[in-house]
Structure 1
């Protein structure tokens, strides 16, 4: 089953996509995601006749409450670290699947424009697969987690590469380098529909990216290259935290799934950074494709640097009660 959010007749609806048709429903996306018997729910809540898919506007299939983005592809991590002068992932990376929280207010859908963020001159995309939570859960095992994944969608974690290095030493994440756009779409394919694509306990979907209709050289990657399965990263996310219906957990960028890796290994800007007018398309086997066009953004508003040298209160650890500057 393919679960979509659509705009039709000026309203946002949930629709079930079947070939070139979409059946609007009278319920919300969370109810469909969490349903024990989705076919029965769809039959019961079908609202009107199916519409041609070409006659509706696809939106992001879910507006997640939380959006966790992992880094589970070792090849991508190696390429990223190469630009930082490091030759291998740190040992800590192999101990647990790490992630950061992304901006859920910046989620967009298929064909929506992506503005170049203020001050960015090296705009990039990231080809990822994402799981969407159906049933809520907490402190799950990987085996239990499988029953809490409603389905999968494509995720483009847009990246302002030149805005990230200045804040990396602070240690609080990518900051404005990842704060402006997150594409989800075109729909959510339920987990049962992708069962035939499982290999050795994990999804094995072919993935590739295109810029202006031309695939990146190298042949893309497969989700089977993930160092942790989706069930494992869902279980990890649920440690001491409740996962709720509609939450999204992304795989991280696959190997050769962004421009950064080409820059790292080839030593130049080939392919070049994205510019207004470029169209990025992500393609994943068994799910489909999602495209967005880059458009011009605005220049940043200037801010002052931090105020320093302000008076501080005495602390127990200051020598002889001296007040540091």
Structure 2
């Protein structure tokens, strides 16, 4: 099933609802639940509620506005495609190859669950960023709480999948990562997801023999294709990512885990690293980016600029040893 969060366009102060999307209609759930609450009740509940919703006529899709399908409990973003790592390293810090540590485990970072955007939303980049980029990814939605899961056990913790665009200010990212932390401000201004969540059962037929989802992923900028790759070129399955995220920690219902950016033009920075120049050029105000994944749908957003922000003062420069001596 394709499960979406939506509001009715003509409804006065219409509440956010959850429904099942078919070709031309959306069929609201009977219960007034958010998508997070649906996920917390589990996939069997969602499928049963969806079946009940499909028995009703529903609403025309052109009479609703689709929102980001989920307000996630947390957002982890992995880096599971070696081709992406190689290209972006060359672009960001001039390094070549894939680090040996990449092969040890499916590394991830946490990003901001409070800046989630949906289909059709404008994406406001930091005003002073000029190296603006998209990232074509797929995210898995966690269905159940778990700690130190095995990869086999993690399969029961998959609720479904959605498109995931990890917008990136590469100039900010490159600067802050010189401190050996991050990315942070180069990433945390926006992540877009949607247009819906496709439940796990729908994608079972597209798994290859090793458990990877064999789906084509493409990205267009202003209608021109700049990247195309198979999701199955990932180094790890989504189950392995869930298992690693849970190791000595916990995953909970509503957690969102991004696959990391696909290769072969899944972001501009990879292409910049390979070409040795910023070609294609960075995103600019008014550009539209559409990411599409087979059987998952398409997600389009337009690039804008946020207002200028107030400055942060420079650090106080102080000799700690002299300061401690003065206090003695």
Fold conserved between structures, TM > 0.5: yes
* Aligned with residue 205 of structure 1, among 200, 211, 215: 215
Which residue matches 1:318?
none
In the other structure, the counterpart of 2:224 is 214
Structure 1 runs not aligned, ≥5 long: 316-321
2:177 aligned with 1:178, yes or no?
Answer: no
- Answer yes or no: is the 8 Å Cα contact 1:35–1:41 preserved in 2: no
- Using the TM superposition, give the Cα deviation of residue 150 of structure 1 relative to its aligned residue in structure 2, in angstroms: 0.5
User: Structure 1 residue aligned with 2:79, among 66, 71, 75?
Assistant: 71
Dislocated runs of 4+, deviation >3 Å: 43-49, 310-315
Q: Which residue of 1 aligns with 2:125?
A: 116
In structure 2, relative to structure 1, the CA distance for the partners of 1:50 and 1:177 (3 Å cut) is same
Q: 1:234-255 CA deviation, whole Å, 9 max, x = no partner?
A: 0001112221111100000000
Q: Is the 8 A contact 1:116 1:298 kept in 2?
A: no
Query: How much does 1:4 deviate?
Result: 0.6
| Matches for 1:47-196 after TM superposition, within 5 Å | 49-83=57-91, 84-196=93-205
Q: Contact (CA 8 Å) 1:139, 1:240: kept in 2 or not?
A: yes
Q: After superposition, what is the alpha-carbon deviation per residue over 1:67-99, rounded to whole angstroms, capped at 9, x for unaligned?
A: 000000000000011122222122111001110
Counterpart of 1:20 in structure 2 is 24
Distance across 2 between alignment mates of 1:44 and 1:223: 32
Secondary structure of 2:138's partner? strand
> How many angstroms does 1:19 deviate by?
1.4
How far apart in 1 are the matches of 2:238 and 2:307?
37
| Superimposed CA distance per residue, residues 97-138 of structure 1 (whole angstroms, 9 cap, x where no aligned partner) | 110000011111000001121310111000001000112222
SS at match of 2:44: coil
Shift of 1:199: 0.7
- The count of residues paired between Structure 1 and Structure 2 equals 316
Q: TM-score, normalised by structure 1?
A: 0.92
Deviation at 1:312, TM superposition (A): 5.1
- Alpha-carbon distance between aligned partners in 1 of 2:50 and 2:173, rounded to the nearest angstrom: 44
CA shift for structure 1 position 11 = 1.3
User: CA deviation digits over 1:302-325, x for unaligned, max 9?
Assistant: 22211111555888xxxxxx679x
Normalized against structure 2, the TM-score is what?
Answer: 0.91
CA distance in 2, matches of 1:105, 1:24: 25
| 3-state SS, counterpart of residue 162 of structure 1 | helix
User: Aligned-pair RMSD on alpha carbons?
Assistant: 2.0
Gaps of 5+ in 2: none
Deviation at 1:291, TM superposition (A): 0.3
SS in 2 for 1:36: helix
Q: In structure 1, how many angstroms separate the alpha carbons of the residues matched to 2:118 and 2:258?
A: 16
CA gap of 1:166–1:49, structure 2 versus 1, over 3 A, is same
Q: Which of 284, 291, 294 is the aligned partner of 1:285? A: 294
Supply the distance in 2 between the matched residues of 1:80 and 1:323 (Cα, whole angstroms): 47
SS at match of 2:299: strand
